[in-house]
Amino acid sequence: MGKPSLSLSCLPQTSVYVMGSTLHGRLRTKDVLLKWGMQITRDCVLCGSHLETLPHLFFDCVYSTEVWQGILLWLHWKRTILTWERECCWIQQTCKSRTPREALLKACFASVVHGV
């Protein structure tokens, strides 16, 4: 499976940057910072009970999952939240239709990633 990609030209540059960094595995989660030798706590900044990794933040963590689930329900998508890669694939496939609803979905996804 290749790296997922999303076109985010309609979003603020900071959201585009964070989304791009996350999609390409460059998000500096605590597991990465610990490998670099930084003296920090290992726990997830959201739940405080798991090692903070990209897969944990998106979407093993109960808090980020709850946020994303709430937004999906607000957009009238009832589905189970999957792993980071599978969510990206779902967004990519779903947003091919380029309707306003799908554009909003993509923007919300990028905002959740940026916010988390």
| Residues at the interface with Zn ion (CB under 5 A) | 44, 46-47, 61
CB of 30 to Zn ion, least distance (A): 10
Q: Of 43 and 99, which CB lies nearer to Zn ion in the complex structure?
A: 43
Please write down the long-range contacts of 51-55, taking CB distance under 8 Å and 24 or more positions apart.
53/29, 54/22, 54/25, 54/27, 54/29, 54/84, 55/83, 55/84
Give the C-alpha separation, 61 to 7, whole Å.
26
CB of 68 to Zn ion, least distance (A): 13
CB of 99 to Zn ion, least distance (A): 33
Q: Of 44 and 95, which CB lies nearer to Zn ion in the complex structure?
A: 44
Q: Which phi and psi (to 5°) does residue 54 adopt?
A: -60, -50
Q: Of 27 and 44, which CB lies nearer to Zn ion in the complex structure?
A: 44
